[in-house]
Structure 1
Amino acid sequence: MLIGDQEFLDFWQKSSVGLTEKSARSLLEKLMQLAAMPAELSGEAGEIQKLLESFSDSLVPDHKFWHELALAVQLAFPKETLSTADKLAHQIHQFRYVISAYQAEWVRRCFPGDTDRESLLHYLRTKKRKRFWRRRFDFNLGESSRLHNKLPQSGNDISFPINIKIVMGFHTEFILDSQDCFANELDPRGRKLNGLINGASFNYANRNNRRHRELDIMPVKIHDPLFRRQALANAGNPFYAPKMIYRRGHRLWNMSYLNKKGYYARNGRSLKQEVASFRRTFVKSLKLKK
């Protein structure tokens, strides 16, 4: 049985009836067993490949299972309990990176192109983009990618590409960089520093609210894989996202996402402007109305 094949989906549907906090935990434990999820991710290529082999190609990035999985996690871990010292919580948090790696690899395999950007464009052209007149849509380019454009605290001696975020149902997210590559913490085709620092991670919350903070943000400090925590710490020069500061007189204005001359600025433009420019270029490539 593979995660996402018909046998699995039948099992999941049957097991999801009348879920309680206790039964949701039990269901998630079975999922971790089926995925052969280790107690701690190593990030090694062989481990990543083995984990991805536990998924069926029929499990598309916008399959309803992903929302059902998120609901099970929400039920199993109320309030801030996903940030507690708990084996299942540790695995469930790290599983976010496995899911995102699988979804990126699915796009590569099922919509082959010369670059990840081409593959993603081929896939998204079969979907509907969020527009204000659409009641229903498949993906959204409007979510902020600020947190996915980190740089070292000082020195700025590391040059990263610009990253944009594409989300499907809020849960599934793709991070695409301006060098036409997916950015992921786990990648069977080779680890890149930008992916390790700024990569995609599946969201267990339904939207950007308090539960998003409890399920997808707070657990990072407690449960992130050691290899990623070490990379983010960067030998005493940690990576930080730009600040959302609007006032020029603010003491941290130099670190603002909006500052055209600040630490994160490029080419005389703020990082936010650079991200917006890359996003517009991507939208044009989709051949959709802006």
Structure 2
Amino acid sequence: MDRLATLDLFIRIVDRGSFSAAAAACGVSRPVATAAIKALEQRLGTRLLHRSTRHVRPTEEGAAYYRRCVAILADLEDADRGASGAVAGLLRADVIGRLARMLLLPALPDFLARHPALTVHLGEGERFVDLVREGVDCVVRAGNLPDSDMIVRPLGVMEEVTVASPAYLARYGTPASPEGLGGHQMVGFVSSRTGLSLPLEFTRGDEVIEVSLPARLLVGGVDTYAEAARQGFGLVQVPRYGFVEDLDRGTLIEVLPDFPPTPTPLSVLYPSNKQLSPRVRVFVDWLMESIGPRFHQNADDP
């Protein structure tokens, strides 16, 4: 393998944590990949990878070399893009499922038409993935994010609503204020980061009121959370954009509209490499252009 092909192979091994997966992605056999990395380590005079039966991870020197390799190949892609005007290859993005289905997919043909040599692998998830280990280029996530070394670009904020089914409200009544929620139930949404059920939030002016109600049902997915509300299991708080049809049809009823939940930030995150891949750059720019305007922008957005 030539030096550039070896660099690409090394990056894929680190991204995927696997010689076999990286070799398959590069179109070479596992023995060829093993020999190429061994020759690379001999040439550099240092060990780049820790190998085990289950996983491959970079050494400290390997991690530093990985970052340099990513920057080098990104520079080459930039040069090619400047010469040809094309962005090519595979872009892996992980997006909140409902956002992907309702907003991203309808707009995606425009993005693919702009970049005909680019292929998009669109994953759906709520959890905070390890972008480097799992080989994901960027993620779109909602909520206040934990500290990390990722670059965070705000897309906007999502208006949230408190809703319940007509059957639930017929049984438990319609509250007039957060203080009137005694005797009510909620569907517990379990945070993937903390493992705890999130309280309901209501605002009164600048005051944020948190209310934890009894929950006979706990869920960990947004679609199940919404369906549980339709089935009358309790109150839930969801982004308005995803439930306009439910509200229009009356399958869900907005509750306490004068005390709305705090809005939820929506962000796109990607690794803080010195040089951003052209594939990621054009995708992030497109998200800002096509998805961002759907939501109110933060006052401190760039």
Instruction: State the TM-score, normalized to the length of structure 2.
Output: 0.27
Q: Which has the larger radius of gyration?
A: 2
More strand by share: 2
